A and B are shown apart, each in its own frame.
Chain A
Amino acid sequence: MRYTPHTPSDKEQMLQAIGLSRIEELVEHIPRSLRERAGISLPQGLTEVAVKKRMAALAAKNATAQDWRLFLGGGIYHHAIPSAVDAIISRSEFSTSYTPYQPEVSQGTLQAMYEFQTLICQLTGMDVANAGLYDGASAAAEAVLMARRLQEGRHRVFLSLSLHPQYRRVIATYLKNLEDVELVETPFTESGGTDVEFLKGHMDEKAMCVVVGYPNFFGVIEDLAVIQEACDRAGALLATVTTEPVSLALLKPPGAWGVDIAVGEGQSLGVPMALGGPGFGFFACQKKFIRSMPGRLAGETVDGEGRRGFVLTLSTREQHIRREKATSNICTSQTLCVLAATVFMATLGKGGMRRLAEVNARRAHRTRERLVKEAGLVPVFTGPFFNEFVLKVSGWAERRARFISNKIVPGIALAEWYPELQDSLLICVTEMNEEEEIEQLARTFCGR
């Protein structure tokens, strides 16, 4: 394929206008030694038909949620997405525009960002939210970085071990080269929630912040009331990380517990799983932290004639102005995914979001009950959960093949990250796992 419109006569006329006779003259000022070696050793271009054929062949080698029964969560969730979402984000006015630096011709994007910020505030119960970050993991890292700016003189970050293991890794990677930060691994209890006694015993005037999942990686709903109390006593900030924001339509939101920073991964709000990306990170906090926030913000204002309009604002926090003193190096906001989430939340609305959350919670609870009763599996944790739970499946390694041959992936084996949790599966049930799938799952566990 070629997407360049130049005919030989175009090239000739343009070169003539420039005062050249050959295309290669355009690059002759570049050292010859470089040019001589610059040839690209890849196959020649293909027709669109051939491209589609090749890509379809690659796609066919993957197990999709359509053909397989996947009970997988762990940070990425398979949910129903109204067709309206893709219709809107496919509109070229949204998909092919740049960051809205010219607000007069970007009101569509800017208003959507403003609506998104409001939706995230409502969903999380927080005062302010930014327009999006890369993903939940880097949003969690940005939360810690913000706490570091706000809590001068304090350097201990308490990371709950029940926080998503990949998120913990990303936080550690982001912080490893900064002085004055120390990560403290905080254990979990048999409830599957963060060990509050550990926090109470270890937090002092050096405690910068505490980071917990809500719900956490095991699907367990943390007891934010007691964690918040412990944080308050030590003067530490509390940051929650939500990888399944659908849960927040049912659960008391972080803001209601007095959380300082609420971040998470937004994929589950209308973005396809796509092997885990792109989704987006969301970032909300209390109003008093506004000038320390990372990422873009859309704000309301007026034009010369008093018409309401929206602009990117408080930009002096950002890298293109404050450079090495910026609050973050981020320069995008996953805007198209954020738009998808905005359309998704608007379409479902108050009633739809609640219904979706209820369906998830009820179906997951019913499934767990069934697996425990019928297949004799044992719950690993006692804490309350939303749509994910951990069960002990003895002899998992030997039983695995049977599931694969039935085209079922019953969950995520936790031993890779938690050696102490051998034979434990993190099982996720959403509204997309139909009754027949759950039936198959139970039957396979029963050895039938």
Chain B
Amino acid sequence: MEFPDGLKYSKEHEWVLVEDKAAIIGITEYAQHELGDIVYVELPEVGEKVVKDDPFAAVESVKAVSDVYAPVSGKVLEINDALPESPETINEDPYGDGWMIKVEMTDMDDLKDLMSAEEYAEYIEQQKGADEEEEEEEDEEEEDEKEKK
């Protein structure tokens, strides 16, 4: 899985490309993979305010709706108009044509909480690891119970 250097990443699986005071935001390859085929995207309007850690958009797969959380606060400068017509772009090119919005950041300190590509890759591994461990533990418990019986 690809996590380009030069981008910043959030725990909610958004990426940020910083250009001076502007931030371009999208979702990561990991996020698009977890969601599966994306069929609809709901974006904010230009001029709207987004608040760090609040949802600013929704992406829908066939059987789920997921909120997309703002990694930084700011005002929406641009939205990716092409997405509602061809939402599959997010699956195909999450870091390029699949970008979602561009905002003018109000607090550059917001960036401090974000991860580097390397940190994010590690974070994903940890998350996966945690799930598997829990399963294994439960499986063991199950085995124990069976033996008891």
Contacts and interface: CB of A to CB of B under 8 A. Distances in A.
The answer to whether A and B come from one shared complex is yes
A322 B65 CA distance: 7
Contacts of A322: 65
Contacts of B63: 315-316, 321
A291 B65 CA distance: 13
Chain B interface: which size bin?
A: under 10
Interface residues of A, number: 6
Interface in A295-350: 315-316, 321-322, 325
B64 interface: yes
Interface in B29-86: 40, 60, 62-65
Contacts of A291: 40
Nearest to B66: A316
Nearest to A291: B40
A321 B62 CA distance: 10
Contacts of A321: 63-65
A291 B62 CA distance: 13
Contacts of B65: 316, 321-322, 325
B148 to A, nearest CB: 14
B90 to A, nearest CB: 15
Contacts of B60: 316
Nearest to B42: A291
A316 B66 CA distance: 10
Interface in B78-137: none
Interface string A262-304: 0000000000000000000000000000010000000000000
Contacts of A316: 40, 60, 62-65
B61 to A, nearest CB: 8
A322 B63 CA distance: 9
Contacts of A325: 65
A293 to B, nearest CB: 14
B138 to A, nearest CB: 22
Nearest to B58: A316
A56 to B, nearest CB: 48
Interface in A53-71: none
A315 B65 CA distance: 10
Nearest to A320: B63
Nearest to B61: A316
A357 B64 CA distance: 44
B54 to A, nearest CB: 16
A37 B62 CA distance: 46
A315 B63 CA distance: 7
Interface in A344-376: none
A325 B62 CA distance: 16
Interface-central residue, A291, A316, A321, by most chain B CB under 10 Å = A316
Contacts of B40: 291, 316
A291 B60 CA distance: 12
The 3 closest A-B pairs by CB, nearest first: A316-B60, A316-B65, A322-B65
14 contacts: A291-B40, A315-B62, A315-B63, A316-B40, A316-B60, A316-B62, A316-B63, A316-B64, A316-B65, A321-B63, A321-B64, A321-B65, A322-B65, A325-B65
Given A316-B62, A316-B64, 12 more contacts: A291-B40, A315-B62, A315-B63, A316-B40, A316-B60, A316-B63, A316-B65, A321-B63, A321-B64, A321-B65, A322-B65, A325-B65
